[in-house]
């Protein structure tokens, strides 16, 4: 029960109502429905409002100069007032109290213990949008402030995070709906486990995380570094873990809001015509979703391959089939045979990463990267390490002890992460046991260069000399001939390196010069997908034009389905997988690739099977090289199959 008696008597002696525009409620003053406080520079106003279609009354703070009412804070969010009888006063104890005039109980109160208050306290709406209750008239000691009890909005100059001394951890919560500012289901707050990071929640489920502060920015928000609109100051000491953003240009209004549809968005006011513009938001894509690819995996949306999840070096999918069907949430596991404890193991670097969840990480601020590696290597529970602070060339050490979760790949501005791998994995990657033994320092490994295709080669197309091809195919011997297709004959070959290839000797290409042909091949070779046959290169000399592909020993699908004995090798589930794979390859060619290829000759003999019977579409792009009709609109002639 709120101090009933005192309030009653207080109401009996009431007082001077706020009349002219002011930013302060003093002792013996009241703010009634219809009155407003306006901050000294006119940026913010405080008063009663009704959100959206609601007729409930709330005390709130909004932008005074923005025509569409934009509320940044609500006092009584879960306890609205019915009707216009609300009144905000400083009670005899010095607390701010909101109540319905005819009732004895307060609807909302700052609830500061009376010991810290004096009877002459006053409350002021600051130009930052902070509503501050000062302990006394000198206004030197803050007894309470709205910035400490935020609702769904983070404003510039607001310290966000954890006060270790008072135990206060600011917890932002979305509104229930556009019409109801009550405490909604989405939340945002700092977690201190391991090394601190902010989490965005739905209920208690993690939706997104910022990653740890890396000296320049949040590891998971590379687009918002210190060159952005704000001066950001991160403080981590025995008293607090907080971040404060200060606008470089204080005349710009910006606000970060947890909105009711579960998005954390950053908006700036662009003037009455253009309104609020969204500058940034999260979660923004699949890879932002917390642990989208499970443990020990990397999420990369900008990969041409159709699946954003890939296992970290030394790991393989936990559930092969789910993975194949593009369901990555079960993540990856260490390859069975690998022992990574005192067995010649080392580290492979993943560049441009959002580092894994640091709830299970430890930081040592005084170690450099080399010492960090030693520390991690010595401790078998350590699965990865990285620089704790990437500013000024990198210093400090984070080590992870347990599952590596929620890694993603950025196209730039991510950071280096070192994954513990077995000696065998190091050997496979051509890495040395110690990363630091080479003169250039760290050897580099980009997770994009690997997995799935297993060959480790990159997308560069090679131009083969005609003599190399002649020797590889034994001068196009009849015994090496694999078949004859619409655009020419195909031969098996073996390069000096031992690599097996398939060479397509093209019949005459109308009016295409050598350079034009090579350019075209370079474009097509960049199309890479696990359901496309990999084009390794070309050969173009005089009027000979050839394409060099990876060799697939199981040959065409026609070999299986049209053969009485062999058709029993592939059961229905395998057939289904093959169909899915072909469809994925087609989607890639039609919609996801840079060139948008229409195959125009898709048939069983053009579907090749690798050793695991995964389908790979071949001869894609030939319609393009042969200039068979340039656009869909022109296609009238029947071509291909
Ligand atoms: C507030 O009102 C009470 C009772 O009328 C009076 O005793 C007190 O001096 C007033 N306080 C101020 C700061 O005006
Ligand atoms: C609000 O007031 C209206 C009329 O004054 C009344 O009908 C309604 O029941 C009230 N609601 C609450 C929640 O008190
Ligand atoms: C105060 O609140 C009560 C209960 O919600 C309501 O019935 C009453 O009408 C309100 N008083 C005024 C003056 O509006
Ligand atoms: C308010 O308090 C007075 C005296 O304490 C009491 O008589 C009255 O019933 C109370 N009113 C309400 C609505 O609780
Ligand atoms: C006021 O604070 C005390 C302890 O600080 C707490 O027990 C009480 O529930 C609070 N009351 C309200 C109305 O928030
Ligand atoms: C932002 O930081 C820069 C460099 O530290 C400083 O010069 C500038 O005054 C700061 N701006 C504000 C608004 O604090
Ligand atoms: C929440 O933010 C997203 C992204 O900015 C936007 O598309 C959506 O309309 C917003 N929802 C609400 C209720 O404002
Ligand atoms: C490995 O590191 C963890 C976390 O720092 C620590 O708890 C554990 O004692 C270490 N183990 C050894 C053998 O040093
Ligand atoms: C990060 O390193 C830079 C330069 O080495 C230093 O100035 C800064 O204080 C460090 N930041 C933290 C949070 O340790
Ligand atoms: C995309 O990922 C796959 C599998 O991880 C990899 O083989 C391929 O090289 C990557 N491509 C690019 C362009 O990063």
Please tell me the residue having the least CA distance from ligand 3 atom 14. Answer: 85
Average pLDDT over residues 529-539: 88
CA of 258 to the centre of ligand 10 (A): 34
Q: Are residues 376 and 241 in the same domain?
A: no
79 lines ligand 2 (CB under 6 A): no
Interatomic CA distance for residues 427 and 447, integer angstroms: 16
- In this predicted structure, what is the pLDDT of residue 350? 94
- In this predicted structure, what is the pLDDT of residue 486? 65
Closest CA to 346 of 304, 388, 314, 392: 314
Residues sharing a CB contact under 8 Å with residue 188, sequence separation 6 or more, in sequence order: 171, 172, 173, 198, 199, 200, 201, 258, 264
Q: How far is CA 147 from CA 35, 44, 274, in A?
A: 22, 14, 28
Counting ligands in written order, the one closest to the CA of 12 is 1
Question: Burial letters for 593-628: b for 16+ Cβ neighbours within 10 Å, e otherwise?
Answer: beeebbbbbbeebbbbbbeebbbbbbbbbbbbbbeb
- Judged against a pLDDT cut of 50, whether residue 589 lies above it is answered with yes
Evaluate whether residue 75 is within a structural domain.
yes
CA of 10 to the centre of ligand 4 (A): 14
- In this predicted structure, what is the pLDDT of residue 343? 83
Interatomic CA distance for residues 492 and 499, integer angstroms: 11
Q: Are residues 35 and 158 in the same domain?
A: no
Q: With beta carbons less than 8 A apart as the criterion, state whether 219 and 229 touch.
A: no
249 is catalytic: no
Among residues 411, 429, 447, which one ends one of the domains? 429
| DSSP one-letter code for 4 | H
Interatomic CA distance for residues 407 and 288, integer angstroms: 9
Average pLDDT over residues 311-335: 91
- In this predicted structure, what is the pLDDT of residue 455? 32
Please tell me the residue having the least CA distance from ligand 4 atom 14. Answer: 104
Q: Are residues 308 and 411 in the same domain?
A: yes
Annotated binding site for ATP: 504
Evaluate whether residue 338 is within a structural domain.
yes
How does pLDDT run across 424-468, given as a tens digit for each residue? 888 776 554 333 432 222 222 222 222 222 233 344 678 888 888
- Judged against a pLDDT cut of 90, whether residue 132 lies above it is answered with yes
Ligand 3 site residues (CB inside 6 A) read 82-83, 85, 100-103
- In this predicted structure, what is the pLDDT of residue 303? 64
Q: How far does CA 182 lie from the centroid of its chain?
A: 29
Q: With beta carbons less than 8 A apart as the criterion, state whether 322 and 307 touch.
A: no
How does pLDDT run across 414-425, given as a tens digit for each residue? 899 999 999 888
Instruction: State the DSSP string of 386-421.
Output: EEEE-GGG-EEEEEE-S--B-EEE-SSS-EEEEEEE
The CATH number given to whatever domain includes residue 223 is 2.90.10.10
Please tell me the residue having the least CA distance from ligand 2 atom 6. Answer: 82
CA of 209 to the centre of ligand 7 (A): 19
Evaluate whether residue 250 is within a structural domain.
yes
Ligand 3 atom closest to 103 (CA): 1
Please tell me the residue having the least CA distance from ligand 7 atom 14. Answer: 259
Q: Are residues 82 and 168 in the same domain?
A: no
Query: How many CA atoms lie less than 13 Å away from 131 in the CB half-sphere?
Result: 24
Ligand 5 atom closest to 108 (CA): 13
Ligand 2 atom closest to 82 (CA): 1
Q: With beta carbons less than 8 A apart as the criterion, state whether 221 and 214 touch.
A: no
Q: Are residues 422 and 314 in the same domain?
A: yes
Interatomic CA distance for residues 294 and 308, integer angstroms: 12
Q: Are residues 109 and 204 in the same domain?
A: no
Q: How far apart are the first and last CA of the chain?
A: 84
- In this predicted structure, what is the pLDDT of residue 434? 38
Q: Please give the model's pTM, rounded to 2 decimal places.
A: 0.69
Residue 600 banded pLDDT, cuts 50, 70, 90: confident
452 lines ligand 10 (CB under 6 A): yes
- The sign of the CA dihedral 20, 24, 30, 33 is positive
Q: What is the pLDDT of the chain when averaged over all its residues?
A: 84
The CATH number given to whatever domain includes residue 578 is 1.10.510.10
SS3 70: coil
- The full 3-state SS of 177-205, as one line of letters, equals ECCEEEEEEEEEEEECCCCCEEEEEECCE
- Judged against a pLDDT cut of 60, whether residue 16 lies above it is answered with no
Among residues 108, 132, 149, which one ends one of the domains? 149
Evaluate whether residue 304 is within a structural domain.
yes
303 lines ligand 10 (CB under 6 A): yes
In the chain, what percentage of residues exceed pLDDT 90? 48
Evaluate whether residue 434 is within a structural domain.
no
Ligand 5 atom closest to 109 (CA): 13
CA of 7 to the centre of ligand 1 (A): 14
Interatomic CA distance for residues 144 and 17, integer angstroms: 23
Counting ligands in written order, the one closest to the CA of 394 is 9
92 lines ligand 1 (CB under 6 A): no
Evaluate whether residue 538 is within a structural domain.
no
How does pLDDT run across 225-283, given as a tens digit for each residue? 766 788 899 999 999 999 999 998 888 999 999 999 999 999 999 888 889 998 889 99
Closest CA to 605 of 554, 639, 568: 554
- In this predicted structure, what is the pLDDT of residue 452? 26
Please tell me the residue having the least CA distance from ligand 5 atom 1. Answer: 111
Q: Are residues 228 and 343 in the same domain?
A: no
Q: Which of 23, 300, 416, 601 is catalytic?
A: 601
Q: With beta carbons less than 8 A apart as the criterion, state whether 207 and 258 touch.
A: no
CA of 104 to the centre of ligand 4 (A): 6
CA of 450 to the centre of ligand 10 (A): 6
Q: Are residues 18 and 124 in the same domain?
A: yes
CA of 81 to the centre of ligand 2 (A): 9
- In this predicted structure, what is the pLDDT of residue 141? 87
- In this predicted structure, what is the pLDDT of residue 108? 94
277 lines ligand 7 (CB under 6 A): no
Q: Are residues 144 and 34 in the same domain?
A: yes
Q: Are residues 222 and 301 in the same domain?
A: no
- Ligand 2 pocket mutation pick from 82, 100, 103 by most atoms within 8 angstroms of CB: 82
- Judged against a pLDDT cut of 90, whether residue 551 lies above it is answered with no
Q: Are residues 298 and 347 in the same domain?
A: yes
Give the range of the structural domain holding residue 616, as residue numbers without chain letter: 558-626
How does pLDDT run across 397-409, given as a tens digit for each residue? 999 999 999 999 9
The tokens describing 279, both together, are: 């500058």
Q: With beta carbons less than 8 A apart as the criterion, state whether 152 and 257 touch.
A: yes
Q: Are residues 372 and 270 in the same domain?
A: no
How does pLDDT run across 459-513, given as a tens digit for each residue? 467 888 888 899 899 899 888 888 877 678 889 998 887 788 999 888 766 556 7
Among residues 133, 149, 165, which one ends one of the domains? 149
- In this predicted structure, what is the pLDDT of residue 570? 77
Please tell me the residue having the least CA distance from ligand 1 atom 3. Answer: 28
Residue 291 banded pLDDT, cuts 50, 70, 90: very high
SS3 content of the chain, % helix, strand, coil (to 5): 15, 35, 50
Counting ligands in written order, the one closest to the CA of 91 is 1
Please tell me the residue having the least CA distance from ligand 7 atom 2. Answer: 263
- Judged against a pLDDT cut of 70, whether residue 20 lies above it is answered with no
In the chain, what percentage of residues exceed pLDDT 70? 86
- Judged against a pLDDT cut of 90, whether residue 411 lies above it is answered with no
How does pLDDT run across 147-173, given as a tens digit for each residue? 999 999 999 999 999 999 999 999 999
Evaluate whether residue 486 is within a structural domain.
no
Q: With beta carbons less than 8 A apart as the criterion, state whether 262 and 186 touch.
A: yes
Instruction: State the DSSP string of 593-616.
Output: SSS----S---GGGEEE-TT--EE
Evaluate whether residue 56 is within a structural domain.
yes
Number of separate domains in the chain:
4
């Amino acid at each position: 029960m709120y101090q009933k008696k005192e309030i009653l008597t207080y109401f009996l002696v009431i007082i001077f109502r706020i009349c002219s525009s002011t930013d302060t409620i003093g002792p013996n003053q009241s703010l009634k429905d219809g009155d407003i406080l306006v901050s000294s520079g006119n940026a913010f106003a405080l008063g009663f409002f009704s959100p959206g279609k609601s007729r409930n009354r709330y005390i709130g703070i909004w932008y005074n100069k923005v025509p569409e009412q934009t509320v940044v804070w609500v006092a009584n969010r879960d306890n609205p007032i019915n009707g216009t009888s609300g009144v905000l006063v400083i009670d005899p104890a010095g607390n701010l109290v909101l109540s319905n005039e005819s009732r004895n109980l307060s609807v909302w109160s700052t609830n500061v213990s009376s010991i810290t208050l004096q009877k002459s306290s006053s409350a002021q709406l600051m130009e930052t949008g902070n509503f501050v209750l000062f302990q006394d008239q000198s206004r030197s000691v803050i007894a309470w402030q709205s910035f400490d009890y935020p609702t769904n909005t983070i404003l510039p100059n607001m310290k966000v995070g954890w006060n270790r001394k008072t135990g206060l951890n600011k917890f932002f919560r979305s509104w229930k709906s556009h019409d109801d500012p009550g405490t909604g289901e989405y939340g945002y707050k700092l977690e201190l486990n391991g090394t601190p990071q902010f989490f965005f929640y739905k209920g208690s489920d993690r939706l997104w995380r910022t990653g740890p502060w890396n000296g320049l920015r949040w590891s998971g928000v590379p687009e918002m570094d210190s060159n952005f609109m704000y001066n950001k100051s991160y403080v981590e000491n025995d008293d607090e873990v907080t971040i404060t953003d200060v606008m470089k240009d204080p005349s710009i209004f910006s606000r970060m809001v947890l909105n009711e549809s579960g998005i954390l968005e950053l908006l700036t006011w662009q003037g009455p015509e253009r309104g609020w513009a969204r500058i940034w938001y999260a979660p923004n894509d699949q890879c932002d979703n917390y642990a989208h690819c499970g443990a020990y995996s990397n999420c990369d949306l900008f990969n041409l391959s159709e699946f954003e999840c890939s296992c970290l070096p030394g790991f393989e999918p936990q559930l092969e089939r789910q993975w194949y069907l593009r369901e990555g949430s079960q993540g990856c596991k260490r390859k069975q045979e690998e022992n990574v404890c005192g067995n010649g193991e080392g580290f492979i670097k993943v560049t441009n990463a959002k580092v894994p969840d640091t709830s299970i990480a430890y930081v040592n601020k005084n170690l450099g990267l080399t010492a960090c590696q030693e520390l991690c290597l010595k401790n078998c529970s350590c699965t990865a390490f990285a620089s704790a602070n990437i500013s000024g060339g990198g210093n400090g050490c984070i080590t992870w002890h347990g599952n590596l979760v929620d890694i993603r790949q950025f196209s730039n501005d991510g950071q280096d992460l070192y994954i513990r791998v077995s000696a065998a994995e190091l050997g496979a990657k051509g890495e040395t046991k110690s990363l630091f033994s080479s003169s250039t320092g760290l050897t580099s490994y980009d997770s994009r260069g690997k997995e799935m295709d297993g060959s480790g080669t990159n997308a560069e197309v090679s131009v083969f000399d005609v003599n190399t091809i002649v020797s590889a195919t034994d001068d196009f011997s009849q015994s090496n001939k694999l078949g004859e297709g619409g655009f020419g004959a195909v031969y098996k070959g073996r390069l000096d390196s031992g690599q097996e290839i398939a060479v397509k000797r093209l019949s005459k290409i109308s009016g295409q010069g050598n350079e034009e042909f090579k350019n075209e091949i370079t474009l097509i070779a960049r199309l890479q997908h696990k359901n496309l046959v990999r084009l390794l290169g070309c050969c173009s000399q005089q009027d000979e034009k050839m394409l060099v592909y990876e060799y697939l020993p199981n040959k065409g699908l026609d070999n299986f389905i049209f053969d009485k004995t062999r058709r029993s090798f592939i059961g229905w589930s395998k057939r289904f997988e093959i169909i899915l794979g072909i469809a994925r390859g087609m989607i890639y060619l039609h919609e996801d690739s840079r060139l948008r290829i229409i195959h125009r000759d898709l048939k069983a003999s053009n579907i090749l099977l690798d050793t695991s019977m995964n389908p790979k579409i071949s001869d894609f792009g030939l319609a393009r090289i042969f200039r068979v009709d340039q656009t869909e609109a022109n296609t009238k002639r029947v071509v291909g199959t």
